[in-house]
Amino acid sequence: MDSTHSAFQEGATTHEGAREWENVEYDRTSGVVMSNGGVDVTGHAKELCVNKLGHTMVTPPEGGTSRGRFRELFGRHRLKTVTYCAVFWSLGMGVAFLGPTLLDLECRISSVFSSMSWVFFSQSLFTLIGSACGGFMVQSLGLHLVLLGSVVMFAVTLTVVPECSVLGALITTLAVMGFFMGTIDTVANISMLQLYGRDVAPFLQALHFSYGLGAFLSPIVTKPFLLNEDCNGLVLNSSVAHRLLDVRLVNITQEAQAELHHAQNNSEIQYAFWIMALMQLPVVVLLAVLVYYDYFPVSGDAVVVETLPETFELKTQNITEPLAASRSIMPDLRDEEDRPQVTARQMALVTACAAGLLFIYDGLQAAYGGYIYSYAVKSVADMAQNEAAVLNACFWGTFAFGRLISIGIATRITPQWMMLANMTGCFVAMVLMLSMPHDHAMLYVGTGLFGTFLSSVFPTTVSMTETYIHVTSQITSVLVMSAALGEMVFPVIIGHEFDSSGPKVLLISGVVMTLLSFVLYFALFIVADGITRVSSERSLTERFKALLKGKTVSDEGIGLMTHNVKHYNRMRSHPSDISLNEETSLSTAPVANL
pLDDT in tens, 382-430: 787 778 888 888 999 999 898 888 877 877 788 889 899 999 999 999 9
Cα dihedral 456, 457, 463, 465 in deg (nearest 10): 180
Q: What does the angle CA 553 – CA 559 – CA 561 come to, to the nearest 5 degrees? A: 100
Give the pLDDT of residue 292.
93
Give the separation between CA 130 and CA 375, rounded to whole angstroms.
30
Q: What does the angle CA 151 – CA 156 – CA 159 come to, to the nearest 5 degrees? A: 130
Mean pLDDT, the chain, as a whole number? 72
For residue 59, the tally of other CB atoms under 10 A from its CB is 15
Lowest mean pLDDT among 274-278, 346-350, 432-436, 477-481: 477-481
Give the pLDDT of residue 546.
52
Instruction: Indicate the helix (H) or strand (E) that contains 393.
Output: helix 385-409
Sorting pLDDT into bands at 50, 70 and 90, what band is 340? low
Length of the chain in terms of residues written? 594
In angstroms, the Cα distances linking 318 to 24, 29, 30, 330, 590 are 11, 19, 20, 16, 7
Give the pLDDT of residue 474.
72
Buried b (16+ CB within 10 A) or exposed e, 205-243: ebbbbbbbbbbbbbbbbbbebbbebbbbebbebbeebee
* CB-count burial class (<10 Å; 0-12, 13-18, 19+) for 365: buried
Give the separation between CA 83 and CA 285, rounded to whole angstroms.
9
Decide which of 249 and 465 is more confident. Answer: 465
**Mean pLDDT for the stretch of residues 433-461:** 90
Give the separation between CA 513 and CA 493, rounded to whole angstroms.
13
Give the separation between CA 309 and CA 320, rounded to whole angstroms.
16
Give the pLDDT of residue 90.
94
Decide which of 509 and 233 is more confident. Answer: 509
User: Is-contact 233 226, C-beta < 8 A?
Assistant: no
Sorting pLDDT into bands at 50, 70 and 90, what band is 519? very high
Q: Is pLDDT at 55 greater than 70 in this prediction? A: no
Lowest mean pLDDT among 19-23, 258-262, 478-482, 539-543: 19-23
- φ, ψ at 227 (rounded to 5°): -75, -25
User: Is-contact 37 331, C-beta < 8 A?
Assistant: yes
Lowest mean pLDDT among 56-60, 178-182, 397-401, 444-448: 56-60
Give the pLDDT of residue 8.
40
**Mean pLDDT for the stretch of residues 543-557:** 47
Sorting pLDDT into bands at 50, 70 and 90, what band is 274? very high
Q: Is pLDDT at 257 greater than 70 in this prediction? A: no
Instruction: Indicate the helix (H) or strand (E) that contains 207.
Output: helix 201-222
**Mean pLDDT for the stretch of residues 554-576:** 43
Give the separation between CA 56 and CA 50, rounded to whole angstroms.
5
> What residues does 532 pair with on adjacent strands?
341
**Mean pLDDT for the stretch of residues 524-531:** 82
The listed range with the strongest mean pLDDT (252-256, 263-267, 311-315, 320-324) is 263-267
Give the separation between CA 180 and CA 94, rounded to whole angstroms.
10
Give the separation between CA 373 and CA 101, rounded to whole angstroms.
9
Sorting pLDDT into bands at 50, 70 and 90, what band is 45? very low
The share of the chain scoring above pLDDT 90, in percent, equals 25
Give the pLDDT of residue 260.
63
Q: Are strands 46-50 and 565-568 parallel, antiparallel or unpaired?
A: antiparallel
**Mean pLDDT for the stretch of residues 37-41:** 37
User: Is-contact 18 55, C-beta < 8 A?
Assistant: no
**Mean pLDDT for the stretch of residues 6-19:** 42
Q: Is pLDDT at 27 greater than 70 in this prediction? A: no
Give the pLDDT of residue 539.
54
pLDDT digits (tens, 9 = 90+) for 309-326: 443 333 333 333 333 333
Instruction: Indicate the helix (H) or strand (E) that contains 91.
Output: helix 78-96
For the entire predicted model, the pTM comes to 0.64
The amino acid present at 287, given as its one-letter code, is L
Instruction: Indicate the helix (H) or strand (E) that contains 454.
Output: helix 440-454
User: Is-contact 503 379, C-beta < 8 A?
Assistant: yes
For residue 343, the tally of other CB atoms under 10 A from its CB is 10
- Chain center to CA of 198: 18
Q: Are strands 46-50 and 32-35 parallel, antiparallel or unpaired?
A: unpaired
Give the separation between CA 351 and CA 468, rounded to whole angstroms.
10
Give the separation between CA 439 and CA 149, rounded to whole angstroms.
45
Decide which of 479 and 46 is more confident. Answer: 479
Q: Tell me the domain boundaries of the chain.
A: 2-64+297-338+565-577, 76-227+267-295, 339-534
Q: What does the angle CA 44 – CA 50 – CA 51 come to, to the nearest 5 degrees? A: 130
Q: Is pLDDT at 239 greater than 90 in this prediction? A: no
Give the pLDDT of residue 76.
87
Specify whether the backbone of 24 is left (phi greater than 0), alpha (psi in -120 to 50) or beta: beta
Give the separation between CA 398 and CA 402, rounded to whole angstroms.
6
- Give the relative orientation of helices 98-108 and 117-141 as an angle to the nearest 10 degrees: 120
Nearest to 457 by CA among 484, 493, 483: 483
For residue 341, the tally of other CB atoms under 10 A from its CB is 11
Give the pLDDT of residue 482.
85
Q: Is pLDDT at 578 greater than 80 in this prediction? A: no
Give the pLDDT of residue 234.
56
339-534 fold: Growth Hormone; Chain: A; (1.20.1250)
For residue 252, the tally of other CB atoms under 10 A from its CB is 15
Lowest mean pLDDT among 176-190, 259-273, 426-440: 259-273
**Mean pLDDT for the stretch of residues 220-227:** 86
In angstroms, the Cα distances linking 120 to 126, 174, 278, 287, 488 are 10, 8, 23, 28, 7
Q: Is pLDDT at 170 greater than 50 in this prediction? A: yes
- φ, ψ at 35 (rounded to 5°): -120, 140
Lowest mean pLDDT among 57-66, 138-147, 432-441, 480-489: 57-66
Give the pLDDT of residue 24.
42
**Mean pLDDT for the stretch of residues 550-559:** 44
**Domain 76-227+267-295 = CATH 1.20.1250.20:** yes
Decide which of 327 and 228 is more confident. Answer: 228
For residue 420, the tally of other CB atoms under 10 A from its CB is 18
pLDDT digits (tens, 9 = 90+) for 205-220: 678 788 888 988 998 9
Q: Do domains 76-227+267-295 and 339-534 have the same CATH topology?
A: yes
Lowest mean pLDDT among 227-236, 363-372, 470-479, 516-525: 227-236
Give the separation between CA 541 and CA 547, rounded to whole angstroms.
10
Q: What is the 3-state secondary structure (H, E, C) of 143-154?
A: HHHHHHHHHHHH
Give the separation between CA 38 and CA 558, rounded to whole angstroms.
30
Decide which of 4 and 445 is more confident. Answer: 445
